[in-house]
């Protein structure tokens, strides 16, 4: 299934950048990498790929990106962590243009398989009010009460993938990512998610000697976090599977935000005074991935331990921060 031209959109972003490299190392020779950002803002630019800068909200740009392609991984979206999506609902919803035009262009170009990166934000908010949430099952997306803005766009686009498959015969695959983290992703600037933000804050405390850290919410809210290597493996496996409905792609290792901070403190060898900002964006109360379905379908689930993935993420963010600090010599 690796033969033929493969397009990855959002390739200048975190997951897309890793996915291009993973696909290249796993049999995909002819890869087109597309993003709206200038190349100096891409997290990773792979020289072996045909790299293109296009705004995929426009149909013509989508047509150009999929010319001659057999396989499309559509990861482009205007998104970020909770701080971004709670304050930019319209921007998040405009990403519907990307998926709509990518699906239309892919169908017209004779693309055989189309992957869509959905999110755990499609799940019904009423099912995420408990910190002991045992994990969201795929059916928990309905009755629909998705995250306002971002989640509704994802839910709508999931359904469009389904109907393009039913009505037009293009094979579509949809994965619902649960919090992905790792090196070469957003760690500052307002779009970063909790794992990177906590690493950055702990490193800042370590380097500055200011041992106070601000935590969004009361720290008891729960999540699961999937390391990037599990994510890209899961994307390709789901793409090549017979799974015709949206499926969870996330870790089932649920932790509270306080436990996540404990892990980063331990990696850094530091103990901090936690200040809880109860007015900050904090999202749902409890969320984790129920992996029964993916285990049944693929005989696999994301399993890289959070402690191991956070150590690598911490190290990468530490290097980024150090490389920005002017040398005292
Ligand atoms: P990211 O922001 O690092 O990457 C997305 C990329 O899309 C960015 O580089 C951005 O420039 C690009 N993009 C935005 N608008 C575009 C446009 N009009 N045309 C072309 N490119 C455009 O985010 P990510 O974490 O790599 O996420 C990738 C996908 O996975 C997104 O669809 C996101 O919604 C989904 N997802 C991610 C997570 C996560 O935890 N990271 C969780 C759930 C879902």
Q: Which CATH class is domain 184-224+254-287+305-322?
A: alpha beta
User: What pTM, to 2 d.p., does this model score?
Assistant: 0.97
CB 222 within 8 A of CB 132: yes
pLDDT, residue 134, reads 83
DSSP-derived 3-state class of residue 272: coil
Q: Indicate which residue of 116, 150, 227, 318 is catalytic.
A: 150
Paired strand residues for 136: 289
CA atoms of 192 and 216, how far apart (whole Å): 13
User: What atom of ligand 1 comes closest to residue 17's alpha carbon?
Assistant: 26
What CATH code would you report for 5-180+225-249?
A: 3.40.50.720
- Report the pLDDT value the prediction gives residue 328, as an integer from 0 to 100: 43
Ranges of the chain whose pLDDT falls below 70? 1, 325-329
Q: Known catalytic residue: 150?
A: yes
For ligand 1, whether the C-beta of 55 sits within 6 Å is: yes
pLDDT of residue 329: 37
pLDDT in the model for residue 274: 96
Looking up tokens 């299934």 gives 1
Q: What is the dihedral of CA 159, 180, 10, 191, to 10 degrees?
A: 100
In the numeric block, which tokens belong to residue 250?
Answer: 């996330």
Cβ contacts of 40 within 8 Å, gap of 6 or more: none
- Domain boundary assignment for the chain: 5-180+225-249, 184-224+254-287+305-322
Q: How far is the CA of 9 from the centre of ligand 1 (A)?
A: 9
pLDDT tens digit string along 11-42?
Answer: 999 999 999 999 999 999 999 999 999 999 99
Structural contact between residues 287 and 176, judged by C-beta atoms closer than 8 angstroms: no
Instruction: Return the ligand 1 atom nearest residue 16 CA.
Output: 26
């Amino acid at each position: 299934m690796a033969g033929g031209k493969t397009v990855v959109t959002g390739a200048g972003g975190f997951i897309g950048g890793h996915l291009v490299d993973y696909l290249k190392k796993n049999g995909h020779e002819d890869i087109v990498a597309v993003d709206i950002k200038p190349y100096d803002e891409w997290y990773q630019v792979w020289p072996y790929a045909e790299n293109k800068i296009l705004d995929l909200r426009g149909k013509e740009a989508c047509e150009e990106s999929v010319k001659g392609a057999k396989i499309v991984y559509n990861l482009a979206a205007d998104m970020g962590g909770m701080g971004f999506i709670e304050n930019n609902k319209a921007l998040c919803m405009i990403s519907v243009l990307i998926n709509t035009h990518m699906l239309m262009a892919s169908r017209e170009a004779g693309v055989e398989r189309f992957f869509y990166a959905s999110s755990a934000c499609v799940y019904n908010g009423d099912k995420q009010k408990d910190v002991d949430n045992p994990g969201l099952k795929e059916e928990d997306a309905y009755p629909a009460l998705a995250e306002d803005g971002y989640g509704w766009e994802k839910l709508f686009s999931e359904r469009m993938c389904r109907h393009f498959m039913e009505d037009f015969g293009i094979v579509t695959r949809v994965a619902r990512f649960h919090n992905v983290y790792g090196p070469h992703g957003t760690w500052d600037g307002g779009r970063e998610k909790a794992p990177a933000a906590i690493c950055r804050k702990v490193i800042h405390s370590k380097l500055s000697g200011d041992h106070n850290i601000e935590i969004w919410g009361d720290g008891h809210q729960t999540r699961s976090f999937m390391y990037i290597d599990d994510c890209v493996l899961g994307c390709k496996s789901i793409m090549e599977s017979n799974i015709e409905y949206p499926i969870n792609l996330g870790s089932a290792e649920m932790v509270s935000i306080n436990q996540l901070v404990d892990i980063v403190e331990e990696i850094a060898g530091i103990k901090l005074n936690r200040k809880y900002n109860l007015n900050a964006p904090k999202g749902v109360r409890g969320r984790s991935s129920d992996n029964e379905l993916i285990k049944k379908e693929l005989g696999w689930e994301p399993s890289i331990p959070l402690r191991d993935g956070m150590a690598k993420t911490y190290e990468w963010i530490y290097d980024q921060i150090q490389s920005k600090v002017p040398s005292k010599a």
